[in-house]
Amino acid sequence: MDKIFFRRMQFYGYHGVYSEENKLGQRFYVDLELMLDLSVPAETDDLKRTVDYAKVYETVRELVEGRTYRLVEALAESIAQALLTNFPIEEVWVRVTKPDPPIPGHYDAVGVEIRRKRR
């Protein structure tokens, strides 16, 4: 399966279980891999035969910046389902990274990865 990928899209959102996260917000990074057959768009050089990257970005931006989730798991699932519903892809991999969560300890970031297939 061929792949379109997005690396480290950056957004500012208000997701988390703590009230401060919902008030102050924080940065989130989203990585995507969209699996589909790219042979037809490669042969035709026609945007209508593939995934419009700008529309994918806007879909993700609306979910990360326009809604509030308690869990990054729920955010990742919403992203995956929106992409499977609105774009001609067979499978999607989503990583949501929370680089500055309000938990004690020393680490670079926390986050989740999910993979979903078209049913």
Which one from 3, 23, 55, 98 is the annotated catalytic residue? 98
Closest Cα partner for 26 from 17, 14, 10, 18?
14
| Bridge partners for 115 per DSSP | 93
* 98 tagged catalytic: yes
In whole angstroms, give the CA distance from residue 58 to residue 68: 16
Closest Cα partner for 89 from 61, 119, 54, 65?
119
Residue 78, C-beta contacts closer than 8 angstroms, at least 6 positions apart:
63, 67, 69
- Looking at the annotation, which residues are catalytic? 98
